[in-house]
Amino acid sequence: MRIFVAGGAGYVGSHTVKALVAAGHEVTVFDSLVAGHRDAVDPAAAFIRGDLADGRALADVLKQGRFDGVIHFAAFLNVGESVEKPLMYYRNNVTNTLNLLEAMEAADVRRIVFSSTCAVYGEPDRLPITEDLPKAPINPYGATKLAVEGMLRDSAGAWGLAAVALRYFNAAGAAADGSIGEDHSPELHLIPLVLQVALGQRENIKIFGTDYPTPDGTCIRDYIHVDDLASAHVRAIEGAKPGELEAFNVGTGRGNSVREIIEACRSVTGHAIPAIEQARRPGDPPSLYADASKIKARFGWSARYVDVRETIESAWRWHSAHPAGYAN
């Protein structure tokens, strides 16, 4: 297939591009490089620097490319920032996706896989999370992703779009061959922050809340390896059904607490990694982990990395070889 990947220079995007190329697809990456990295893009993929905000340029690229499908990663993803600047998030994540869908309809590209998030569930009242639970995001970031799911559902009904929304849990790890990995600026995610302490780039890791109703008092999350996320996208773009939006959780089905993650990082790196207990971070649900049986039944996909230690090992290989990320 000829596949257009919006945001293909980002963390999950670049790992997916690599997996698409390995599966024999012809890939064009479209990325503004505001957050992505040119060096993260597989050399076998074509690269266009562009912004989804520029609907006209986008329409031209899609018309000329004769693409079979689109995978859409381009979005802002910082929950705290989305609370402070909601309209910036709606413009970038929702309005720009509207441009993309309009350009797709005009160019007759009728297949899309969209990066959604477990943040669409807000604070679920049941665990593990199944796709049918109420969608009640508690921050603008999650609300923008849910809004896009609505545009996809309505487009599927109206013009036969084949759409899949993948609701990721916590993306983590790096490519098994060490070639690409995570590099956010600023970095706000737990595993890379803990590994930065091991690298001596930070003095300690702050544990946000130790009084949650969980066995060790810290938050539980489902850390899904980025290569597993990548393979889920490949299956989804190949198998999307016309006229429907299908939404799937993509997680391991296992939860790990913040303390467990820090301990696993100590064991993997051999560094002491001082931790400081702090108050809760506003907006963090106590526990989130996936029931991923729906995507297994539909696409035969399940996570290959089920032990978070192996995910951390892959991340550590990347961060220790590239302590300044792509600047190395």
Site string for ligand UDP, 184-223 (x = CB under 6 A): ----xxx--x-----------xxxx----------x-x--
| Annotated catalytic residue, options 89, 141, 168, 212 | 141
Q: Please give the structure tokens belonging to residue 101.
A: 């869908």
Annotated catalytic residue 141: yes
At residue 314, φ and ψ (nearest 5 deg) are -70, -40
Q: Please give the structure tokens belonging to residue 202.
A: 């930070």
Which CB, 239 or 286, lies closer to ligand UDP?
A: 286
Q: Does 48 bind ligand UDP (CB under 6 A)?
A: no
Which CB, 102 or 263, lies closer to ligand UDP?
A: 263
* C-alpha to C-alpha distance for 281 and 239, rounded to whole angstroms: 39
Site string for ligand UDP, 236-265 (x = CB under 6 A): ----------------------x-------
Angle subtended at Cα 168 by Cα 221 and Cα 48, rounded to the nearest 5 degrees: 135
Nearest approach, Cβ of 200 to ligand UDP (angstroms)?
17
* C-alpha to C-alpha distance for 23 and 7, rounded to whole angstroms: 19
Q: Does 284 bind ligand UDP (CB under 6 A)?
A: yes
Q: Does 308 bind ligand UDP (CB under 6 A)?
A: no
Nearest approach, Cβ of 284 to ligand UDP (angstroms)?
4
Nearest approach, Cβ of 271 to ligand UDP (angstroms)?
16
Pairing state between β 220-221 and 256-257: antiparallel
Which one, of 187, 186, 212, 194, lies nearest residue 280 by Cα? 212
Which CB, 34 or 279, lies closer to ligand UDP?
A: 279
Q: DSSP string covering 282-309, please?
A: TT--SB--B--HHHHHHH----S--SHH
Catalytic residues: 141
Which residues bind to ligand UDP, rule: CB under 6 A? 170, 188-190, 193, 205-208, 219, 221, 258, 281, 284
